A and B are shown apart, each in its own frame.
Chain A
Amino acid sequence: MKSGTYIKRPNRALQIYACVFLFVLYLPVLFIPLFSFNDSIYVRFPMQGLTTRWYVDLWSRDTVWAALGNSVTVGIWVSVISTGLGVVAARAITRYRIPGQSAILTFALLPLIVPGIIFGVALLVLLSRLGIPLSLYTVGLGHLIICLPFAIATLLPRFEGFERSLDEASADLGENGWWTFWRVTFPMVAPGILASLLLTFTISFDEFIMTFFLSGTDTTLPIYIWSQLRFPQQFPVVLAMSSVILALSFVMVFVALWIGRMGVAREYADDPQ
């Protein structure tokens, strides 16, 4: 059976709905870049006039860059570590029969089904009992707890769908465990790893609730934004920063998509179906 999309007749109502939906979805978000050009520290509608001075200011506002830098650093570390931990966990669960593995899995996925505030609070209590000072490390730990379930949830299906016989074949051909993993398993689960890296980075980058409870003097971007929402002196600069991030994300995603399609097209040029 051809796996097409089945419905050939366009449904006008649905099309209109889709367009309205996208419009309503984007409208609030587009205010962020819009007001980053507003000539006033207050976000009021109608706008007071256009200016690019906030973008110019952005360049010299060290606190904003520091916050961004912290968010990126924490994000990268958390995404790498949580993906690494997720990979070994997924591999272990799919490759070996571990007693109580569904219990372990449920446990690992607990942060997905418990509101973030509870973990933030619990970790805060733990850290204060242990006398550990709050810092970016504690923030990283908090993010790790949140991101690990996402990593496992993303990676597990990839490892499960993967042919074990290839594993055995490679072992029979004389490759030991590590090389088997590196040259056989890894390339096949790589898209999953990539997805996990991106997902966990995104989650860590925008994470607020746990960070709120666990951060020290080094702020991350969401905490900085929170402080600016209440006292607005540098607020439009924050809007400018977010617009830049939004634009960069657009570019990143489209480039990645474009590259993916290019590769696919060339594959099909070599190997017509």
Chain B
Amino acid sequence: MVTVPDVPLGRPRKGFAAWFRRSEAAQGLALMSPTLLVLLIGIAVPLVILITMGFWTREGFGFDTTPTLDNYARIGAEPIFVTFLARSFMVSGIATLVTILLCYPMAYYVAFHVHRNKMLWIVLMTLPFWTSYLLRVFAWRVVLGYEGVVNSAFLSLGWIEAPLEFLLYSQTAVIITLTHAWAAFAILPLYVSLEKIDKSLLEAATDLGDGPVRRFLRITLPLSMPGVVAAFFLIFIPTTGDFITPALLGGPDGMMIGNLIQLQFGPVNNWPMGAALSIVLMLWIGALGLVFLFLTRLAKRRLA
């Protein structure tokens, strides 16, 4: 703990000012006060209001503010909400896993096999993400479209007779696009944690007779788990609430919970329902996150 320098002559020794100078907590909080204020106004208050609104009901142009659990009851009872939640988690989950699986070898390559210009590689890998997210999603429409790159290529190669229709306006399209769009959020954490692995451990393992596969399973993989966990959360959480990709590419069967929530604040005009759905989504994400953390800890213990 840092010792505060001796109080010079002339400074107050008693009273509030003195207490302030001696109290670390007070000084720290004072220093942080602008940040705390923003956090309070920006996060705490809106969340409280959101939670409160979840207990209201829509009434014409305004709200009926008598607290009721109607919205939550509806979410539990009507199958549409559960289906959408489940579908969103499934789509996000698959996209996240696929992204991590595909990006891991790439991160591994740059961490272990690139000897010079590592920064260049990292920059190269993240530059595509300096374009607008919307345009990247749109670009996938061009690739997957009826007359898009993939279909045109396959047709001209003679692999198919008619354009593949499931490529666009489907959950598949959403998964593919999410995977590509969020790749940077997998590459960076994976790279950082792979890079931090002490190479001497691997050299020691080789000296002791481990083959490359065993080395990977026993040392590299467990030690890169923090990166995997970080990547998982960085991708899974935002994508469950995404409504842009499903809106542009999902078709009727590809809609996700984010669209439902957005609709409540738009044409359906049921703000309390939207608030309740948001809270439910948040709670589910929290629960799933904890489960995932638990699983990875289990895996880590098994592997190491």
In whole Å, how far is B138's beta carbon from the nearest beta carbon of chain A? 6
The verdict on A262 contacting chain B, using a C-beta distance below 8 Å, is no
Instruction: Evaluate contact between B32 and A98: CB separation under 8 angstroms.
Output: yes
The verdict on A269 contacting chain B, using a C-beta distance below 8 Å, is no
In whole Å, how far is B246's beta carbon from the nearest beta carbon of chain A? 12
The verdict on B102 contacting chain A, using a C-beta distance below 8 Å, is yes
CA distance A70 to B108 in the complex (A): 39
Instruction: Evaluate contact between A229 and B138: CB separation under 8 angstroms.
Output: yes
- Measured between beta carbons, the chain B residues less than 8 angstroms from A114 are 237, 282, 285
Instruction: Evaluate contact between A107 and B131: CB separation under 8 angstroms.
Output: no
User: Residue-by-residue, is A232-257 near B (CB-CB < 8 Å gives 1, otherwise 0)?
Assistant: 00000011001001100110011001
Pick the residue among A98, A126, A164 that contacts B28 (CB under 8 A): A98
The verdict on B298 contacting chain A, using a C-beta distance below 8 Å, is no
Instruction: Evaluate contact between A213 and B34: CB separation under 8 angstroms.
Output: no
The verdict on B267 contacting chain A, using a C-beta distance below 8 Å, is no
CA distance A88 to B111 in the complex (A): 33
- Tell me what chain B mostly uses at the interface: helix, strand, loop, or mixed: helix
Chain A interface size range: 35 or more
- Measured between beta carbons, the chain B residues less than 8 angstroms from A239 are 135
Instruction: Evaluate contact between B46 and A119: CB separation under 8 angstroms.
Output: yes
The verdict on A118 contacting chain B, using a C-beta distance below 8 Å, is yes
Instruction: Evaluate contact between A221 and B132: CB separation under 8 angstroms.
Output: yes
The verdict on A74 contacting chain B, using a C-beta distance below 8 Å, is no
The verdict on B136 contacting chain A, using a C-beta distance below 8 Å, is yes
CA distance A242 to B136 in the complex (A): 11
User: Residue-by-residue, is B1-42 near A (CB-CB < 8 Å gives 1, otherwise 0)?
Assistant: 111010000000000000000001101110110111011001
Instruction: Evaluate contact between A118 and B265: CB separation under 8 angstroms.
Output: no
Instruction: Evaluate contact between A14 and B113: CB separation under 8 angstroms.
Output: yes
In whole Å, how far is A108's beta carbon from the nearest beta carbon of chain B? 6
Known contacts A28-B142, A126-B45, A126-B46: A206-B2 contact under CB 8 Å: no
Interface centre among B135, B199, B271 (most CB of A within 10 A): B135
Q: Which residue of A lies closest to B148 (CB)?
A: A45
Instruction: Evaluate contact between A32 and B108: CB separation under 8 angstroms.
Output: no
Within 8 A of A (CB), among B117-135: 119-120, 123-125, 127-128, 130-135
Instruction: Evaluate contact between A88 and B32: CB separation under 8 angstroms.
Output: yes
The verdict on B203 contacting chain A, using a C-beta distance below 8 Å, is yes
Pick the residue among A11, A22, A164 that contacts B125 (CB under 8 A): A22
**Top 9 nearest A-B pairs by Cβ distance?**
A115-B241, A96-B28, A122-B46, A28-B139, A6-B199, A92-B32, A92-B31, A98-B28, A145-B42
Q: Can you list 30 pairs linking A and B with CB atoms under 8 Å apart?
A: A1-B199, A3-B199, A4-B199, A5-B111, A25-B183, A27-B143, A29-B128, A31-B143, A43-B138, A45-B145, A45-B148, A84-B34, A92-B27, A92-B28, A104-B32, A113-B285, A115-B237, A115-B241, A118-B278, A118-B281, A121-B275, A122-B50, A125-B46, A168-B3, A171-B5, A202-B130, A229-B248, A245-B131, A246-B131, A250-B127
